[in-house]
Amino acid sequence: MPSVRSVHARSAIARAGTAVRAAAFWAAVALPLAAITLLTFGWNLRLVGAVLALNAAALVVGHGYRTRPNRSHGHGR
């Protein structure tokens, strides 16, 4: 039987993982807007490229984020 301490540690790690996925998800939403803004105002293309690279990383990390538990969405289950 796992100790209470190990259960709490796993729970804390799971919450931290969820927080990281949530932050990455929302960063992936916002970063394209930042890239467009940087392009509009004529910023250095290297900076725009870095923002787009961060966006790609955020897409990968935030891909599994869900705001609610996965439900059947009315598919008869």
For residue 15, give the 3-state DSSP assignment.
helix
Residue-wise pLDDT tens digits, 3-37: 666 767 777 787 888 889 999 999 999 999 999 99
Helix (H) and strand (E) counts in the chain: 2, 0
| Residue 40 clears pLDDT 60, i.e. is over it | yes
Tell me what pLDDT residue 61 has. 94
CA distance 36 to 25: 18
Q: What is the pLDDT of residue 49?
A: 96
Q: Are 21 and 61 in contact (CB under 8 A)?
A: yes
pLDDT in tens, 55-74: 999 999 999 888 766 555 55
Distance CA 6, CA 61 (A): 25
